[in-house]
Amino acid sequence: MSFFKKLFGGGQAATTEPAGDKVMGEESYKGHLIKAIEMKAGGELQLAGTIEKDIGGELKIYRFIRADRMNSRDDLIALALSKGRQIIDEQGDHIYR
């Protein structure tokens, strides 16, 4: 593919579905839903997740990304869920402001 086709997006089919986060694990905690999100960093996985809560009929989402990287998917899920619980314990609903 030529430089200009790459630059202007020629030659690639547009996707009809939005790119979403790949959820690796989730849990409910104190009225919030914590999700461990897959975030690849080279050959490793980087710690990332979301915390969600319905407040007044509106879904609020808080995203977090940390510098921690690891190879173990199971360890990453456990750490992301733990980090989400810690954020909720420390900040509560204030994370959505």
Q: Which long-range contacts (CB under 8 A, 24 or more apart) does 26-35 make?
A: 26/81, 27/81, 29/84, 29/85, 29/88, 30/88, 32/84, 32/88, 34/80, 34/81, 34/84, 34/85, 34/88, 35/84
- Pairing relationship of beta strands 32-37 and 44-55 according to DSSP bridges: antiparallel
Domain ranges of the chain: 22-96
pTM, two decimal places: 0.78
Q: Is the pLDDT of residue 3 over 70?
A: no
Which class is domain 22-96?
alpha beta
For residue range 6-50, list pLDDT tens digits in order. Answer: 445 544 443 333 356 899 999 999 999 999 999 999 999 999 999
